[in-house]
């Protein structure tokens, strides 16, 4: 897959329509790399002019700030802001709600002011504009899918409809868990919990959340966050349901269902 890099475009005096912020999970985690590839393929096939920072992209510093290390966070943030401003970046799209939240809401106070979109909102925007078309009677038609709300996407930024609208575009049978939208249960990875041992309790948060998703009878658990994807996948494995239930990011679901921009609907 040919991936445009910002430094190369800038060297030619060119600039992308959007910068795809990949994030640490999307770069280094083998499972999340599939999400990165799926989103990159969608952007390419829909004719979006995009690029990544590549080796110039650092961690946003979100885990460091959530864990209480403000010094490390600001070091990372300032370096990222210098890079983004040098390339005169205006619009950023990311598949990670953690990156989305901190770039959108916390970077401005340090001088990083950009239009930041989560990939679900961006893809729905493309559908509304007619730039992204979904084929009719696709492979997900009628399939029972349950969507898990990411904390940073939902309660943190009020994005509930875009992910669900994408699934409805596929004509899937969208079902809900009892705890959803503003009452949704965390996957257990937020607040830097992804990187530490959990405190003692009756059960792991991701196990409880996964059981709620499995109780809906869905064959697919849809997520829009690489952290959620990891935690729910672990929960499905704990329940020994890997053969019956898949955990998929919305980009992975959508990538096989799009109509190429040059093809008739």
Nearest to 158 by CA among 100, 205, 209: 100
Domains in the chain (CATH in brackets) are 6-125 (3.40.50.1860), 133-255 (3.40.50)
Rounded to whole angstroms, the maximal C-alpha distance in the chain is 58
CB-CB contact of 226 with 35 (8 Å): yes
Provide the pLDDT for residue 33. Answer: 96
Task: List C-alpha distances in Å: 113 to 38, 73, 96, 117.
Answer: 27, 17, 18, 13
Task: List C-alpha distances in Å: 44 to 143, 146, 208.
Answer: 27, 28, 38
Using DSSP's 3-state secondary structure scheme, residue 220 falls into strand
- Please state the length of the chain: 265
Using DSSP's 3-state secondary structure scheme, residue 50 falls into strand
Backbone angles phi, psi at 172, to 5 degrees: -85, 165
Residues 101-152 pLDDT 10s: 999 999 999 999 999 999 999 999 999 999 999 988 888 988 999 999 999 9
Using DSSP's 3-state secondary structure scheme, residue 180 falls into coil
Using DSSP's 3-state secondary structure scheme, residue 51 falls into strand
Task: List C-alpha distances in Å: 204 to 25, 65, 168, 251.
Answer: 21, 23, 31, 27
Integer Cα distance of 84 and 20 in angstroms: 12
DSSP string, 155-173: TTT---HHHHHHHHHTT-E
Integer Cα distance of 257 and 245 in angstroms: 20
Integer Cα distance of 170 and 210 in angstroms: 23
pTM: 0.92
- Dig out the tokens for 141 from the structure: 């038609």
Q: Tally helices (H) and strands (E) across the chain.
A: 11, 10
Q: In what order do the strands lie in the sheet with 115-118?
A: 50-51, 18-21, 91-94, 115-118
Provide the pLDDT for residue 101. Answer: 96
Using DSSP's 3-state secondary structure scheme, residue 93 falls into strand
CB-CB contact of 168 with 147 (8 Å): no
- Dig out the tokens for 221 from the structure: 């658990």
Sites in the chain below the pLDDT cut of 70: 191-196, 260-265
- Dig out the tokens for 22 from the structure: 């990949």
Provide the pLDDT for residue 67. Answer: 86
**Which residues partner with 258 through β-bridges?**
134
Residues 202-221 pLDDT 10s: 788 899 999 999 999 999 99
């Amino acid at each position: 897959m040919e991936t445009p890099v910002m430094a190369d475009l800038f060297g030619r005096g060119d600039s992308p329509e959007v910068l795809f912020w990949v994030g640490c999970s999307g770069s280094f985690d083998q499972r999340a790399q599939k999400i990165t590839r799926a989103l990159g393929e969608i952007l390419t096939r829909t004719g979006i002019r995009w690029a990544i920072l590549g080796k110039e992209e650092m961690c946003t510093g979100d885990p460091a700030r959530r864990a209480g290390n403000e010094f490390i966070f600001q070091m990372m943030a300032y370096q990222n802001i210098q890079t983004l401003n040098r390339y005169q970046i205006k619009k950023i799209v990311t598949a990670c709600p953690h990156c989305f939240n901190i770039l959108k809401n916390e970077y401005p106070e340090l001088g990083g002011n950009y239009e930041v979109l989560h990939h679900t909102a961006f893809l729905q925007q493309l559908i509304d504009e007619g730039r992204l078309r979904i084929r009719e009677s696709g492979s997900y038609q009628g399939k029972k899918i349950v969507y898990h709300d990411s904390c940073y996407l939902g309660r943190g930024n009020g994005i509930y409809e875009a992910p669900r609208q994408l699934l409805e575009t596929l004509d899937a049978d969208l079902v809900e868990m009892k705890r959803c939208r503003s009452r949704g249960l965390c996957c257990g990875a937020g607040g830097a919990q992804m990187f530490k041992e959990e405190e003692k309790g009756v059960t792991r948060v991701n196990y409880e959340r996964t059981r709620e998703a499995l109780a809906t009878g869905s064959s697919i658990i849809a997520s829009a966050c690489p952290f959620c994807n990891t935690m729910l996948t672990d929960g499905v494995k704990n329940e020994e349901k890997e053969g019956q239930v898949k955990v998929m990011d919305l980009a992975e679901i959508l990538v096989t269902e799009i109509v190429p921009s040059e093809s008739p609907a």
